[in-house]
Structure formats: C-alpha cells, structure tokens
Structure 1
C-alpha cells in the first residue's frame, strides 16, 4: 500500500505551499491469483547461523528455482535502510521432498536479525514467508 505525497511545496523554489495528495493505492501481485504457490514447512530450525544450513520440507521441491532471504523493512522519511533481498545457495533433498539452504558467511551481506525466507518456483511465484533468525557471530 502506498499513500500520500511530498506535500511541503508546490514549486521548485519551495515558496508555494503544497497540497497533500489524499489517495491510497493498493497493489495486488498477479501471483496471488494463480492456482498454487510453493509452500515451505516451518518445522526447520528458526535460527540459522551465518554459513549454516537448514532444510525445509516442500511438496514443490522440483519446481523451486530460487530461495531468498528478505529483510523486513524499516522505513523513515521514504528511505528504507534495512531492506535487502539475499539469494541463497540451495540443494534439493535426496528424497525430492525438500530443499536445504546455505546462508552466506559474511555478516555484511546478512546482518544479524530476523528475515523472511521464501521459495520461488519456476513461474516466479513466491511462497509465504518462514521466519528465520540469524544470530550475531560470536566474538573471538
């Protein structure tokens, strides 16, 4: 959902007061109207260390094309300094009923905190999120 506008000034010289745009736009992604979406079980560990692995069961393992960590947003003044989408290496389990993800080792790529884990199928349809916590690396 988006709403509002930059209502401070109506001119480039910033001398004429602006008018706040009173409109709300709702976006519904087309994938919500598809017959099915990938589904990850959230029975895997909720905490995965940097460089660590975790396995998630899914009936759509063969169709999974990407696994991604999405950092939840932290907005202020139209800036979102926390948002990131991180592609994960993954393999399918031997039985074909799941995927195993491997997190990057670098904390500058994956800062500690909570992330939404999504599986994306070969049609570009994402799963609902499974929440994963990445702890801070232990100091040596």
Structure 2
C-alpha cells in the first residue's frame, strides 16, 4: 500500500441496484475509489440490503496493485461487516476464496489484526464511511 491512509481522498463511483445472492432481496451496491494525489490507493464496494436486519452492510476493500500486469500476490481484499456497534473484519467464505485467488489474495482476520496493515484498514474504512455521500 502506498499510504498509511491519512492522506487518502475518495472519489465516488457507480451505484448498482441488484438482488441479494442468498435471498433475492433488493440490494444497493456502491463503488468508490481511494486515491493519494494521482495514484490509486485502492477501491471498494459497499452492499446494503434494505429490509433485512440479518444482512449487515458489507464493505469489500481492495488494495494493492490493480494494474493490468499485476498478479494476485500484489492485490489484496478484505471484507468488513458494519453492525450497529461498529465494523468487524470478516473472514472470506471458502467458496469465495477459491473463486477469487486467481485475481487477488483474500485476507482474513488473522492475517490483518495486530499487523501494521490493521491501522491502514481502519483509516481507509473511516474515509469510506465518512466521505462517501451515498452511505
């Protein structure tokens, strides 16, 4: 990652209306981009399924080198559930892990918590939740 997260700015991207994969309920997914000057610090999606209290809003944060020549060892992604009492870093389901490994490395809680990346993660999440006007 090219930043500790404190100098990152946010650029809002697309908004998509879709159906929840597990129950078919209407779901809104917003995309945004995290930048440090002219450089990319990553991108994210936030999915919200309205009317389903058992479905936490889900942030997927993608960091690393997402240029065409980069491989999965240079790209990482994290999943963060947003509950009433705050965000929680989530592990990737095994079915998703196998599917995404050719594109990026999915990081689980044990790979992030207690590491230098943890502070960056929470700083980026704070930028997303406070600066994206759609959330």
TM range (shorter): under 0.3
Q: TM-score, normalised by structure 2?
A: 0.27
Which protein is bigger by CA-based radius of gyration? 1
Q: TM-score, normalised by structure 1?
A: 0.27
Per residue, is there more helix in 1 or in 2? 2
Question: Which structure ranks higher in relative contact order (CA pairs < 8 Å, sequence separation ≥ 6)?
Answer: 1
